[in-house]
Structure 1
Amino acid sequence: MSNNILIAETKYSDQDFKIEFDKVERLILVNKYSIYLVDGSSFYGTLKSNKDNEVTITFGDLTQDVRVNKIVRLNKIENGFWKHFTGSLDFGYNLTKTNNSQQLTFALQLNYISEKWIHTIKYDELNTVQDDVEDIERVDLELDTKKYYKNNWFFNSNFSFLSNTSQSIKGRYSPSLGMGNYLVRNNKLYFLVGGGLTYNIEKYFDSATDKNSFEVVLSTEFNMFNFKDININTSILMFPSLSEKGRFRTDIDFSFKYDLPLDFYIKSSISANYDNQPSQNTTKLDYVFSTGFGWKLKH
């Protein structure tokens, strides 16, 4: 269970059951789960309801009674490597007669969930071909790991890669480390902030402008997910430089998703990158707007 949706798999049904978690009154779970509460507490154990709207969490030799609506996430921890995976795949294609413009977008996300850790891989690619204009190619790759602690704190390590012909970036490699906190986390939305340090290795098509730099990372994310079939997510990353005077970069992502039957969905998103000291003869601001059709992968 996450984002207020409890998914139950049965042997007698072709489709998994999806249940709005804020409608659940009783739970009995015999397998072990990572259990996260709205106050930031976390447990690894089993659940059993002895009365409506309340569960008893058993972890080791200890127990704790909590209200059902205080649970914000359940991760079933099973044996077997592949059973830890969830993910999604997006594909979009736009064709415009004017200038014979064609645009192809592809996005992939995979999550590996264990008892205390969540590992995520994201890949986004855009290719645009148009008469009398140079081809545009953009690739975003992100490897992210989070470990959760008490009181809604988490440790975060991240590695990102960006290649963008519009900004003459052949490859920007950015490993980073940081901490963050969920200021709000419940069964309708979450809002988090974080901070850390990153090291940039930037390679441009003009190798004379290659450079390395240290930056502070300031991040925030706001996700609304329990509003019927609508999901809205906004994230902002800001990178004030420590080694280049006056340099400031920011990455902004916004997505809107509407769920359809059979685990399909439509999704629109915009990603923007701003650099106030870009490579010579390149734009300070670059953005991508895409809309497409997707399908959710569940085990």
Structure 2
Amino acid sequence: MRAPSYKITNQSFLTLLIFHFLLLLPILLKAQKTDIVILDNGDRLTGEIKWMEQAVLKFNTDAMSYIDIKWKKIVYLKTTNSFRVENSDGSLFFGMLETDSLKKELIVGIGSKANRVDMDDVVEISEVKDTFRKGLNLSVDLGFTYTKASDIVQFNLSGDGGYSTLYWDRNFSFRSVLTLQNDTSFTKNQNVKVTLYRLLPNKYFLTGFAGATQNTELGLKMRLSFGGGGGRHLLRTNNSILRAAIGLQGTREWQYGTSEVKNNLESVFAAGYEKFMLFTPKLNINISIQAYPNLTETGRYRIDFDAKIKWELIKDLFWGITFYDNFDSKPPQESSGEGQNDYGITLSLGWKY
């Protein structure tokens, strides 16, 4: 039996060619890296601008993959992608980027609607992302210790991440500290928190948050919390951030050994400080404190304190030490006889994406 034959006309061939071109178009566009950066030593780089924070521009090239460039070393850059730019007074600008090298200004946008920002006043640049995966940044720390003399095994896992779009920032964090002693005593201190920020002019912001906490030492089987408030960045530069916030939150608590459930309303007072030392080696210091006076249970208040120092060992790999203290003036159950505090120090290795 003779196989059927097909005649390919010029029109059908052109249609087929256009069809395959449209299929490949997203790949071709993704492969293009046409952003330009020129350094003060005359070096010209072509690639893709990812973001700028802590006075470091993250730049992606085909030849060298991701590289870090000191912001003060850049004399010219240009990109046709859309970015969000924040300056030191909290103002936000959106659009394509180019620099005026003579005036040392960053031009955000095009034409008569473009804004000019002094290069030294730029605090952060983040791309307006079209997908969650592209916009996600993530840091994970892992630690393990064993002490033979006291037969204590401790495992800790922590991390944080974020995702930004236009006027919104979304952050999450988690920590888990599990301790086993003499094969008989097992304690855990675990929490996870999700926070949403709506950025406002003059460094102000609105925030909403939700979280879950477990703490064996304080007899807390589970605490669910949700709330909101507002705050302000008191200091925001390329190497330091100081912020404060106030708000209200509702909590629902379960304790060990009883089916009783407690519902509480708490006020929230929070402050945080971050300090960055950017090169040789990179060093990050992060300190936060939250106070929760209870508005439902008279005389009860809680305080959470965290301090973390992280050193970069090699690119994107960090060694860290963390001190934490969780205080409750009237804990659900003083099950371990240790009173009102649960505190500890953890060592870890971390990776940043």
**Shorter-normalised TM-score: what interval?**
over 0.9
Higher mean C-alpha deviation, range 281-290 or range 167-176: 281-290
Tell me what 1:199 maps to.
250
**Within the alignment, does 1:110 sit opposite 2:161 as a pair?**
yes
Tell me what 1:293 maps to.
349
C-alpha deviation, 1:79, in angstroms: 2.7
Q: Deviations over 1:177-232 (max 9, x none)?
A: 01010011111101111000001111101325531111110110111013531111
3-state SS of the aligned residue for 1:260? strand
Q: Distance in 2 between matches of 1:151 and 1:239?
A: 27
C-alpha deviation, 1:59, in angstroms: 6.3
**Within the alignment, does 1:47 sit opposite 2:81 as a pair?**
no
Q: Contact 2:255 / 2:333 at 8 angstroms: preserved in 1? A: no
Tell me what 1:253 maps to.
306
Q: TM-score w.r.t. structure 1 length?
A: 0.94
Tell me what 2:266 maps to.
215
Q: Contact 1:218 / 1:238 at 8 angstroms: preserved in 2? A: yes
| Corresponding residue to 1:149 among 200, 203, 221 | 200
Q: Deviations over 1:218-273 (max 9, x none)?
A: 11011101353111110110111111111111111110011122211101111211
- Cα 1:267–1:192 change in 2 (3 A) is same
Higher mean C-alpha deviation, range 75-84 or range 263-272: 75-84
Q: Distance in 1 between matches of 2:308 and 2:141?
A: 13
Tell me what 1:56 maps to.
107
**Within the alignment, does 1:130 sit opposite 2:181 as a pair?**
yes
- Cα 1:60–1:278 change in 2 (3 A) is farther
**Within the alignment, does 1:86 sit opposite 2:142 as a pair?**
no
Gaps of 5+ in 2: 1-51
Q: Distance in 2 between matches of 1:116 and 1:168?
A: 40
Q: Contact 1:55 / 1:68 at 8 angstroms: preserved in 2? A: yes
Q: Contact 2:177 / 2:189 at 8 angstroms: preserved in 1? A: yes
Give the residue type in structure 2 aligned to 1:291.
L
Q: Deviations over 1:49-94 (max 9, x none)?
A: 1224212221685122221011101111233331011101111110
Identity of aligned residues (%): 25
Give the residue type in structure 2 aligned to 1:295.
W
- Cα 1:36–1:110 change in 2 (3 A) is same
C-alpha deviation, 1:119, in angstroms: 1.2
Superposition RMSD in Å:
1.7
Higher mean C-alpha deviation, range 39-48 or range 52-61: 52-61
3-state SS of the aligned residue for 1:78? coil
Q: Contact 2:291 / 2:303 at 8 angstroms: preserved in 1? A: yes
Matched length = 296
C-alpha deviation, 1:24, in angstroms: 3.0
More strand by share: 1
- Cα 1:224–1:106 change in 2 (3 A) is same
C-alpha deviation, 1:129, in angstroms: 1.0
| Corresponding residue to 1:232 among 285, 291, 302 | 285
Q: Distance in 1 between matches of 2:60 and 2:251?
A: 44
Gaps of 5+ in 1: none
3-state SS of the aligned residue for 2:123? strand
3-state SS of the aligned residue for 1:187? coil
**Within the alignment, does 1:120 sit opposite 2:176 as a pair?**
no
3-state SS of the aligned residue for 1:216? strand
C-alpha deviation, 1:108, in angstroms: 2.8
Larger Rg: 2
Tell me what 1:23 maps to.
73
| Corresponding residue to 1:275 among 328, 335, 341 | 328
Q: Distance in 2 between matches of 1:47 and 1:197?
A: 39
- With a CA cutoff of 8 Å and minimum separation of 6, indicate the structure with the bigger relative contact order: 1
Tell me what 1:7 maps to.
58
Q: Contact 1:72 / 1:185 at 8 angstroms: preserved in 2? A: yes
Higher mean C-alpha deviation, range 275-284 or range 245-254: 275-284
Q: Distance in 2 between matches of 1:80 and 1:211?
A: 40
Q: Contact 2:267 / 2:292 at 8 angstroms: preserved in 1? A: yes
